[in-house]
Amino acid sequence: MLPFDVSEYQARLSRVKKEMTGKGIDVLLVTDPANMNYLSGFDAWSFYVHQMLVVDLQEEQPLWIGRFMDAGAARVTTWMQDEFISGYPDTYVHSDVLHPMMYVADMLKLKGFARKRIAVEMDHYYFTAKAFMELQRELPDAAFTDGGLLVNRVRMVKSDQEIEYMKKAARLAENAMKNGVNTIRAGNRECDAAAMIYYHIIAGTSEGGGDYPSIVPLLPTGKNTSIPHLTWTDRTFQEGESVIVELAGCCRRYHVPLARTVTIGTPSTRMVTLGKVAVEGINTVLDGLRPGMTCGEAEALWRNSISRHGFVKESRLGYSVGLNYPPDWGEHTASIRSTDRTVLKPNMTFHIIPGLWFDEDGIEISETIRITETGCEPFTNYPRELLVNMPSTIAEQGEIS
C-alpha cells in the first residue's frame, strides 16, 4: 500500500534529522499533513482534528499522535510499527475542557522531552495559536523554536519516484482540462464544467484514477476573470465570455496544476493580445530556465518579456509545487519572485503561472515544470495558447462509463 519503499522514507527522515542537528533541535513536531505524509506515508482526511508526527533525533521511527479513530489509518498507511502510533480518546475532540495538546504534552513528557529543544511548525494551518499555547503551558521547561518549512525545504528536490507520480498526475490534468473545456459553452452552467473536471480528475483513465486535488477547480468567468480565486456558481455561460480554468491532477497526493483561458466564441482583440503576451512570456521563461539560476533571475525573464508590451505583474510568477493536502497545493518554500534567492536544482518542480489580472478581465496560461540537468521540462502536453471554443469546434462531450 505504501507509495514509496521504506528506504525512501528512511532517507527522507535522515535528511530531516541532519537539518535538525544543524539547528540544534532535539524534537520536531510535524503538523503539516504533507510533511507527515512525506516522512511516514500517513494519508487520511483526519487533519481537521489535531494530529502530528514527533521526530526524535534519537529514534529510528517517528511517532504518530492523533485521534484514536484515525490510529487505524496510521496503521495501514505508514511504515511505522504499532508502538509508534498513539491515539487520544474522543473526549479530546472539540471539547471545552480537554485539548489534544494536553495528551501530546503527556506523551512528550513520557518520552523525556520536558526540557528539550522542541521545534514546531509555527505558521502552518494545522498548528493553531491555541495548540502552541497549550504546549507551552504543559511543558514550561521546554525550549520551543520555529521549525516551520524545515521539512518543506527537504521536499523541494523530488526523487525519481516522486517525478513518476507527478507524470501520472499530468495525464489526469490534461484529460480533465480537455473534458472541462469542452463543457464550457453557451447554455451550460459553470457547475457543469466543474463537475466534468472533477469527474475526470478522479476517474482518470484505465491506467489509473486520481486523488482529490488540494484546491477545487477554479473557474472565474466573464468580468470575474479579474478575480483569481472565485469558485463556480450555477450561472449559465454566455456567448463571448472568457473563462479561466485552473485545476490540478493529483496522484498519491502529488499535484500537477494546469491553467488555461478559453473564450466562448470569437475572442476580443484584447484577449488575443493578452494571450500572445502571456504565451510569449511563459515561453521565454521555459526557454530560459536553468539549474543554478535563482528564482529571482527566473522571474526577471518574465518581467522583461511582458514589459516589452507595457505590462507589469505584481504577484509572484510561480511557486514550488508537489505533495500537499487542502487547502493548498503549493509547498510554501520558493516563490518565483524578484526577491527570492533560492537556487534552482534538477528535480525541483514549480507551477509557473503567469496570471495577468486587470480591473475587468484577466488571463492565465500556466505550466508545471521540472528543472532538468540542462533546463526545464513541462509535465503536461496541452496547447499553450488562448483556447477558443467556436460552437463547431466543440467535440462531443465526455461520457462516464
Site for a second copy in 144-203 (CB under 8 A): 146, 148, 189-192, 194-196, 198-203
Whichever of 13 and 319 has its CB closer to a second copy, that residue is: 319
Q: Is 218 in the site for a second copy (CB under 8 A)?
A: yes
To a second copy, the closest distance from the beta carbon of 106 in angstroms equals: 19
CB-based contacts of 166, cutoff 8 Å, min separation 6: 158, 251, 254, 255, 256, 322, 349, 368, 370, 379
Distance CA 295, CA 324 (A): 21
| Residues within window 37-56 making contact with a second copy, judged by CB under 8 A | 43-48
Stretch near a second copy under the rule CB under 8 A, chosen from 155-163, 222-230, 257-265, 366-374: 222-230
Q: What cell numbers appear for 73 in the block?
A: 489509518
| Residues within window 259-278 making contact with a second copy, judged by CB under 8 A | none
Distance CA 64, CA 83 (A): 9
Do strands 85-88 and 117-120 pair parallel, antiparallel, or not at all (unpaired)?
A: unpaired
Whichever of 15 and 189 has its CB closer to a second copy, that residue is: 189
Which 3 state secondary structure label does DSSP give 293? coil
Whichever of 13 and 47 has its CB closer to a second copy, that residue is: 47
To a second copy, the closest distance from the beta carbon of 199 in angstroms equals: 4
To a second copy, the closest distance from the beta carbon of 399 in angstroms equals: 7
Whichever of 13 and 242 has its CB closer to a second copy, that residue is: 242
Stretch near a second copy under the rule CB under 8 A, chosen from 110-118, 122-130, 257-265, 277-285: 122-130
Residue choice 187, 208, 240, 383 for contact with a second copy (CB under 8 A):
208
DSSP category for residue 344 = P
Q: Is 319 in the site for a second copy (CB under 8 A)?
A: yes
Whichever of 61 and 333 has its CB closer to a second copy, that residue is: 333
Size of the site for a second copy (CB under 8 A): 85
Residue choice 222, 228, 291, 296 for contact with a second copy (CB under 8 A):
228
CB-based contacts of 56, cutoff 8 Å, min separation 6: 26, 27, 62, 63, 111, 113
Residue choice 15, 111, 212, 265 for contact with a second copy (CB under 8 A):
212
DSSP category for residue 90 = G
Cβ–Cβ contacts within 10 Å for residue 273, how many?
A: 15
Cα dist from 63 to 59, 111, 171, 202, 365, whole Å: 9, 11, 35, 31, 42
Q: How is 147-184 classified by DSSP, letter by letter?
A: -TTHHHHHHSBPPHHHHHHHHHHHHHHHHHHHHHHHH-
| Residues within window 339-358 making contact with a second copy, judged by CB under 8 A | 339, 357
Q: Is 143 in the site for a second copy (CB under 8 A)?
A: no
Residue choice 82, 314, 373, 396 for contact with a second copy (CB under 8 A):
314
Distance CA 224, CA 362 (A): 8
| Residues within window 359-398 making contact with a second copy, judged by CB under 8 A | 397-398
Q: Is 237 in the site for a second copy (CB under 8 A)?
A: no
Whichever of 74 and 371 has its CB closer to a second copy, that residue is: 74
Stretch near a second copy under the rule CB under 8 A, chosen from 53-61, 265-273, 330-338, 384-392: 330-338
Q: Is 337 in the site for a second copy (CB under 8 A)?
A: yes
| Residues within window 58-97 making contact with a second copy, judged by CB under 8 A | 68-70, 72-73, 76-77, 89-91, 93-94
To a second copy, the closest distance from the beta carbon of 180 in angstroms equals: 12
Cα dist from 339 to 224, 296, 393, whole Å: 29, 6, 43
CB 327, CB 215: distance < 8 Å: yes
Burial of 163 (0-12, 13-18, 19+ CB in 10 A): middle
Whichever of 146 and 239 has its CB closer to a second copy, that residue is: 146
Whether omega before 327 lies within 30 degrees of 0, making that bond cis, reads yes
Rg (CA), the chain: 23
Whichever of 127 and 382 has its CB closer to a second copy, that residue is: 127
To a second copy, the closest distance from the beta carbon of 266 in angstroms equals: 26
Stretch near a second copy under the rule CB under 8 A, chosen from 15-23, 129-137, 237-245, 269-277: 129-137
Q: What cell numbers appear for 255 in the block?
A: 499535484
Residue 97 has phi, psi (to 5 degrees) of -110, -30
